[in-house]
Chain A
Amino acid sequence: MKIGPGFLLVALVLTSTAAHAQQNQPSIEQLLEEPFLDDYYSNVVYGYEIITDTQTNASRYVGNSLQCSNCHLQAGTLEDALPLNVAGMYPKWRAKNGKRNGIGLRIRECFLYSMDGIMPPEDAPEVLAVSAYVTYLSQGQVMGAEPVGRGVPTLPDTGYDPNPANGRAVYLAQCSSCHGERGEGTAGMPPVWGLNAYNKGAGMNDIQQAAGFIWANMPLGNGKSLTHQQALDVSAYLNLQVRPADPRDSKFLKLLEHLLN
């Protein structure tokens, strides 16, 4: 096929308008006010609603009382608080199963571990909607480049092992007012342990990750006020508490939990 200059011009105009549209994509507030949305934007809005109110919008696969936005703060838009503008980081090659794992798998894993629920199927509407929302948040990011403030900050080595006993003291002093003395949460505040919290397979149950999250964001509204050591200690303390089992190792326990819960 011969491509004339006219064609090129059209193509140029098309691509430039497409790029234009991407930069000026409507905000969530604008989208929420629209009476009618196309398939993509309606899924973006649905994804946003799942993140902020998981209990009502994705209750099918949820097993505890958390919301996605309890960890992915401000609906996944806050740096250093597990932001969700990460579409450019997927799909990831994983040698283990010889598959390329997309954002879908990551979302499904958070349902299974962080939300202590059931892993939704790949094409569940909930998963597709959150993927759309992740894509929406990632507009303007460079493919494959790590977004600024991805995940949680990695704390430097303090030279001391995390000490749960000190962590308990920190917890009672700084955290229990919101998260309750027995970690059960209070009105409007999420639990941090117990059967309604994330399970032992969750990323938040990893001492380093939790410490990074807590140091950067907790106590809520007063982040980065703890020392690195305090964050590590309290994180180790949380790690020792009772919480739902990891679905990968104690299947029998898990089954009992499921049937009782």
Chain B
Amino acid sequence: MIRQLLAEATPSFSWSARPGNWRIEVFAGLVGAILVIPQGITFAYLAGLPPEYGLYCAIFVTLICSLLGSSSMMSGPNTAVAILIGAAVLPLAGRGSPVYIDFVFLLCMMVGLIQLVFWLARGARIFQYLSPAAISGISAGAGFLIIMASLDSMLDLSTFNTTFFYEKLYVIASDARDLVNPFSLAIGLTTIAGGYLGRRYSPRYFIIIAVSAGYLCGLLVAFIWPQPHTELEYLGRMPLQWLPLTIPNINMDYLMISINLIPYAITIAFIGLAQSLVIVRELKMETDQNINLDKEVYAQGMANFLAPFFSSFAGAGSFNRTRANQSLGATTPLSGIAAAGFVLILITFLGPVLTYMPMAAMSGTLFIVGADMIKWRDIKHYAQVRSELAIYLATFISIMFFGLAVGVVVAVFLSVSVFMLRISQLELKVEPGDAGLVLKVKGALFYASVAHLTERFHSHAGENLTVDLQYTTHIDQSAVDFFIRESRHMTAHGHKLTLLINDRQRKFLEKLGASTELELVSL
């Protein structure tokens, strides 16, 4: 056990022995780096942090995760995680102030620690119970929140808050002339238009096209009107360093206050891992990579725990970048490592250019990212099964009204309930046999499903019963207790209860003390 943990905890580099085309990997890394720069900046905005933190996240979280992990998954800044960080820390300190950043760091370390506990507890399997509909619902809900956040900064409404989104839409609509900054809106719309037109020609790089369109539009505006007139918000100079080492500020007072952060830390840890593991599982199914889920959990947890030491915030796997990575043919963590390096190189050169990047262009790309997360295809896909559609819609709607954290709780609760309902359902078939009726039981027989059986028993009271358990997958103590009770009851009325079982079940039932009271017949 210890040896296995140690093996997972050290970078394996086993992929380096596998024949692969390193040139493909490095090129995929370059594409990943280009894609992540706008994402890093905008997600930092969602998390309430200065933009350079998002870029550091794109470098160091990606790097650590790829070094320690075993797959070609691209980790790094993640929408849901960023939104949740913002929601968690905002009540404690002013957005972007030093104390705010201290709390973000503390939160990220907590997230990392919780994920490491998950790793120790071999928790990767838990996420299989989260229904895919729930994950799509969360992703769509996050997309909705992103769209709202992008509207905020595109219309320049940053100082303006409402409880529910429709109030905001109403106020915008009714007072557009006074509230909306037309320059900002024009740049934002140019960016979005650029993105959707660009997608026709280059589905892979359209985000870059969108950002460039917004940037050029911003230059044009700046050329005609001065900033005091346009009131445009620019990215500004980023004080970038190659190795932004920091030591998170931790003391008693911080720890006392950050108790408030624990529920968020758990939610973030959970949602981060859920997304990463969905990606990894897909990769495992679609490629022949030698992936160890537990190792991926460890890599993600470690990356998040160490993130604050590199001035970054927590991250998780990224669907869109992993997909781009895969479509370019990358199959090893080398692409992630290369991506981290390229981000570092790119931002050193792009830094000065990015200074005059209008935030409206950034939020335009944010809008596209958000809109892409709400997929009509998903809704149609889940509409086939009623329970899945219900999970999807309930998750989505609760995120719309109550925020991401509540949505995640709803999603988990519904997934688990549906799962419980499913497995507590028994397939029962009654056939006439030689000595009374034969009841065939298919499914898992445990405290939740015994109720079904009770109903059947009562509707056939007054007859001899033989219960065929050979297709029953699981039997627990309460089921055995039930049989014993029924058997006593039936004998008292002069009937007989017989259980048909196989050898494995016999051993088990004897252990539960069933052999003395019940008539067991082996097949």
B-binding residues in A (CB < 8 A): 35-37, 39, 42-43, 46, 56, 59-62, 109, 112, 117-125, 128-129, 247-249, 251-252, 254-255, 258-259
Give the segment of B9-17, B109-117, B223-231 that binds chain A. B223-231
Q: Which residues of the other chain, B, contact A56 by a CB distance below 8 angstroms? A: 239
Does chain A have a CB within 8 A of B253? Answer: yes
B99 touches A39 (CB 8 A): yes
Q: CB-nearest residue of chain B relative to A104?
A: B159
B355 touches A258 (CB 8 A): yes
A60 touches B158 (CB 8 A): no
Does chain A have a CB within 8 A of B500? Answer: no
Q: Which residues of the other chain, B, contact A59 by a CB distance below 8 angstroms? A: 237, 239
A121 CB contact (under 8 Å) in B99, B233, B239: B233
Q: CB-nearest residue of chain B relative to A35?
A: B251
Q: Which residues of the other chain, B, contact A37 by a CB distance below 8 angstroms? A: 99
A42 touches B97 (CB 8 A): yes
Q: Which residues of the other chain, B, contact A120 by a CB distance below 8 angstroms? A: 236
Q: Which residues of the other chain, B, contact A129 by a CB distance below 8 angstroms? A: 94, 97
A255 touches B219 (CB 8 A): yes
Residues of B18-68 at the interface with A, using a CB-CB cut-off of 8 Å, are 50
Residues of B454-500 at the interface with A, using a CB-CB cut-off of 8 Å, are none
In whole angstroms, what is the CA distance A39 to B100 when docked? 9
B236 touches A118 (CB 8 A): yes
In whole angstroms, what is the CA distance A61 to B50 when docked? 12
A122 touches B227 (CB 8 A): no
B97 touches A46 (CB 8 A): yes
B158 touches A112 (CB 8 A): no
A60 touches B50 (CB 8 A): yes
Fill in one digit per residue for B205-231: 1 if any A CB lies within 8 Å of its CB, else 0. 000000000000001001111111101
Nearest CB of chain B from residue A122's CB, rounded to whole Å: 6
In whole angstroms, what is the CA distance A13 to B285 when docked? 70
B223 CB contact (under 8 Å) in A42, A118, A123, A252: A252
A124 touches B96 (CB 8 A): yes
Q: Which residues of the other chain, B, contact A258 by a CB distance below 8 angstroms? A: 355-356
Q: Which residues of the other chain, A, contact B270 by a CB distance below 8 angstroms? A: none
Known: A42-B99, A60-B237. A36 touches B223 (CB 8 A): no
Does chain A have a CB within 8 A of B98? Answer: yes
Q: Which residues of the other chain, A, contact B92 by a CB distance below 8 angstroms? A: 39
Q: CB-nearest residue of chain B relative to A57?
A: B98
In whole angstroms, what is the CA distance A37 to B93 when docked? 10
A-binding residues in B (CB < 8 A): 50, 92-100, 158-159, 219, 222-229, 231, 233-234, 236-239, 251, 253-254, 352, 355-356, 359
Q: Which residues of the other chain, A, contact B100 by a CB distance below 8 angstroms? A: 125
In whole angstroms, what is the CA distance A254 to B94 when docked? 33
A36 touches B253 (CB 8 A): yes
A247 CB contact (under 8 Å) in B228, B234, B359: B228
B93 touches A42 (CB 8 A): yes
Q: CB-nearest residue of chain A relative to B98?
A: A46
In whole angstroms, what is the CA distance A117 to B227 when docked? 10
B226 touches A125 (CB 8 A): no
Most chain B CB neighbours (cut-off 10 Å) among A60, A61, A128, A252: A60
Q: Which residues of the other chain, A, contact B254 by a CB distance below 8 angstroms? A: 36
Q: Which residues of the other chain, A, contact B253 by a CB distance below 8 angstroms? A: 35-36
Most chain B CB neighbours (cut-off 10 Å) among A56, A247, A251, A254: A251
A248 touches B228 (CB 8 A): yes
A125 CB contact (under 8 Å) in B96, B223, B239: B96
B50 touches A122 (CB 8 A): no
A39 touches B234 (CB 8 A): no
Nearest CB of chain B from residue A215's CB, rounded to whole Å: 29
A119 touches B227 (CB 8 A): yes
Q: Which residues of the other chain, B, contact A254 by a CB distance below 8 angstroms? A: 226
A39 touches B94 (CB 8 A): yes
Nearest CB of chain A from residue B318's CB, rounded to whole Å: 26
Known: A60-B236, A60-B238, A61-B236. A119 touches B228 (CB 8 A): yes
B158 touches A43 (CB 8 A): no
Q: CB-nearest residue of chain B relative to A246?
A: B226
A122 touches B239 (CB 8 A): no
Q: Which residues of the other chain, B, contact A36 by a CB distance below 8 angstroms? A: 251, 253-254
- In order of increasing CB-CB distance, the 10 nearest A-B pairs are A125-B96, A36-B253, A60-B236, A42-B99, A121-B233, A248-B226, A59-B239, A125-B97, A247-B226, A118-B234
In whole angstroms, what is the CA distance A246 to B312 when docked? 37
In whole angstroms, what is the CA distance A258 to B354 when docked? 11
A251 touches B225 (CB 8 A): yes
Q: Which residues of the other chain, A, contact B251 by a CB distance below 8 angstroms? A: 35-36
A251 touches B222 (CB 8 A): yes
A39 touches B227 (CB 8 A): no
Q: CB-nearest residue of chain B relative to A58?
A: B236
Q: CB-nearest residue of chain B relative to A124?
A: B96
A251 touches B236 (CB 8 A): no
Q: Which residues of the other chain, B, contact A249 by a CB distance below 8 angstroms? A: 226
Q: Which residues of the other chain, A, contact B97 by a CB distance below 8 angstroms? A: 39, 42-43, 46, 125, 128-129
In whole angstroms, what is the CA distance A42 to B236 when docked? 23
In whole angstroms, what is the CA distance A248 to B226 when docked? 5
In whole angstroms, what is the CA distance A42 to B238 when docked? 22
A42 touches B98 (CB 8 A): yes
In whole angstroms, what is the CA distance A121 to B45 when docked? 13
Q: Which residues of the other chain, B, contact A128 by a CB distance below 8 angstroms? A: 94, 97
Q: Which residues of the other chain, B, contact A125 by a CB distance below 8 angstroms? A: 50, 94-97, 100
Known: A43-B94, A258-B355. A121 touches B237 (CB 8 A): no
In whole angstroms, what is the CA distance A251 to B254 when docked? 47
Nearest CB of chain B from residue A255's CB, rounded to whole Å: 6
Known: A42-B93, A125-B96, A255-B219. A112 touches B228 (CB 8 A): yes
